[in-house]
Each structure stands twice: as C-alpha cells, then as structure tokens.
C-alpha cells in the first residue's frame, strides 16, 4: 500500500510541475533501455442477475417480403458507410484509406471525423500532410512561436539527439459539414505520432507521440472550403523517419478508428 501511495504522490507532483509557469509544453522522454512489467487494476461491475438476462423465446413469424426489404436496407447502409469511409462523397480529389499496414504518403488526402458542435455529432473531414520541416528551420519557427503572445511555450529538449519538427497540413471540410451562422470556428485536425506498429516507443524513446497544433485559425472559414495553413510542433529523433502520423475518432460504441500517414 505504501508503494502505491508513493507512486500516486510522485504522479501528482510531476503533474503539478508540468502545469507551473506559463503552461510550458515539456516533452518528457525516456530511453526505453529496460523492459518493465506494469500492473493495472480494474474495477469490475457486479455480475448481472439472471433476471437481467431474461428474454422472450416466443417464436416470431416473419413475413418473407419484410425480411427481403430489411436485407436490402442493410446492404444499402453498408454500401453508404463504405463510400463515406473511403472519402468519395462530394469532394473533387482522390482519397486513400491510410491504414497501419499501408499508410498514406505525404500529399495524399485521408478521411477522418471530427466533432461538430451544431448537431453534437461526428462528421467526415479530409486532411493531408504536406510536409515536415526539420533542423534549424523548424527550431526557428518554434523560437518565433515562443516569443509571441501564446499561452503555451516549448522548452528546450533534454536530449541532444532529439529535435523539434514542424508538420504542415491541409484540411477540407465538406459542404455538408454543419456550421453556424458565422461559419466554422476551427479548421484544424488533431494529429498524433507513433511508431510503425502503433505501440511502444519511437526509436527507443517513450514520449514522442504528442503533436501540438500552432495553426492560426482563419478569420472566416466555411464548410466546403480548404484550410491550407495547418501547422503543428512535435519532437523526433534527429534523422529518423520511420514513424507515422495519425488522426483518430470514436464512434457511438466507443470504438476507435485511426488513419495513418507516413512520416518524413
């Protein structure tokens, strides 16, 4: 019990130190030199009673014509979902699937979903990574951002073999994306970084998954338009490119869906 309390106290202290100052973004990365075993505790609900499993086993008589209509409706729904997932809709550009096994390449459009406050639902949007800026040019962008009037700042990285990088991207919000009277308030897309298997560390480092958006929202943006000034900061091992960007969302059943783009 004492070990658990000490561990909890350590987590709280670390969390408070991260939030001090002017909300600095500190990439806390560690070399994954040793394999460790982590123990997780889960709280399970009480088993359901037999009454909760009760069901009506009365045989139903199903009209054959009704069954055929139901099957056709299901097939149409599946076709519609497949069309939406591949991004064919009302866009005039090609969209690739961007799977973990076959990620999209720089410059290729990928479909994902984002939340619309107008109807409180998730809707399809499209994004593409247009490039990755590294080295002195990327650090200059980070320095300029730190010197501006921003709530977030990027601390110097603690390891010499790491560097700040800038990922640039574009987003397209389809014309049927719900918007308010004055259009859309945001045009960005949430991105993360991972290794080629989407688990564990990146080049023996743990903590390189964060991608922090520094884009300036357009003064006016509407559904049907394309935002071309997307920009975000992330940390990566110098000279290393075997990583992926991803965007994710959850459906109504809390299932996660991701689309992937190869890093650079």
Whole-number pLDDT of residue 181: 85
pLDDT (tens digit, 9 = 90+) per residue, 26-46? 455 666 644 333 333 333 343
Whole-number pLDDT of residue 52: 39
Evaluate the CA torsion angle 192, 197, 201, 203 in order and state its sign.
negative
pLDDT (tens digit, 9 = 90+) per residue, 146-170? 999 888 999 999 999 999 999 999 9
Max Cα-Cα span within the chain: 73
pLDDT (tens digit, 9 = 90+) per residue, 108-121? 999 999 999 899 89
Kindly report the average pLDDT of the chain as a whole number.
Answer: 77
Report whether pLDDT(18) > 60: no
Whole-number pLDDT of residue 200: 79
Please report which confidence band the pLDDT of residue 62 belongs to, taking 50, 70 and 90 as the band edges. Answer: very low
Cβ(258)–Cβ(246) under 8 Å? yes
Placement of tokens 């940390």 in the chain: 235
Q: What are phi and psi of 66, to 5 degrees?
A: -65, -40
Cβ(208)–Cβ(193) under 8 Å? yes
Percentage with pLDDT > 90 across the chain: 56
Evaluate the CA torsion angle 233, 234, 239, 241 in order and state its sign.
negative
Q: What average pLDDT does range 208-235 have in this prediction?
A: 95
Q: How far apart are CA 224 and CA 226, in angstroms?
A: 7
Whole-number pLDDT of residue 9: 41
Placement of tokens 């040793």 in the chain: 34
Please report which confidence band the pLDDT of residue 185 belongs to, taking 50, 70 and 90 as the band edges. Answer: confident
């Amino acid at each position: 019990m004492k070990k658990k309390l000490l561990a909890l106290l350590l987590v709280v202290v670390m969390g408070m130190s991260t939030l001090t100052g002017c909300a600095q973004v500190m990439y806390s990365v560690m070399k994954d030199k040793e394999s460790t075993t982590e123990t997780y505790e889960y709280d399970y609900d009480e088993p359901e009673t037999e009454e909760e499993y009760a069901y009506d086993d009365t045989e139903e008589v199903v009209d054959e014509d009704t069954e055929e209509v139901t099957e056709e409706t299901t097939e149409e729904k599946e076709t519609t979902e497949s069309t939406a997932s591949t991004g064919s809709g009302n866009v005039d550009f090609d969209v690739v699937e961007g799977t973990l096994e076959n990620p999209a390449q720089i410059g290729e459009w990928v479909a994902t979903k984002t939340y619309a406050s107008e109807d409180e639902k998730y809707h399809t949007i499209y994004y593409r990574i247009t490039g990755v800026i590294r080295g002195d040019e990327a650090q200059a962008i980070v320095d300029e951002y730190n010197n501006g009037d921003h709530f977030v700042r990027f601390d110097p990285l603690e390891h010499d073999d790491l560097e700040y990088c800038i990922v640039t991207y574009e987003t397209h919000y389809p014309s049927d994306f719900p918007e308010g009277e004055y259009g859309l308030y945001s045009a960005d897309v949430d991105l993360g970084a991972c290794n080629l298997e989407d688990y564990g560390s990146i080049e023996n480092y743990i903590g390189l998954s964060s991608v922090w958006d520094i884009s300036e929202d357009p003064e006016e943006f509407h559904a049907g338009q394309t935002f071309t000034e997307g920009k975000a900061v992330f940390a990566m091992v110098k000279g290393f490119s075997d990583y992926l960007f991803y965007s994710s969302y959850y459906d109504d059943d809390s299932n996660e869906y991701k689309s992937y783009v190869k890093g650079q």
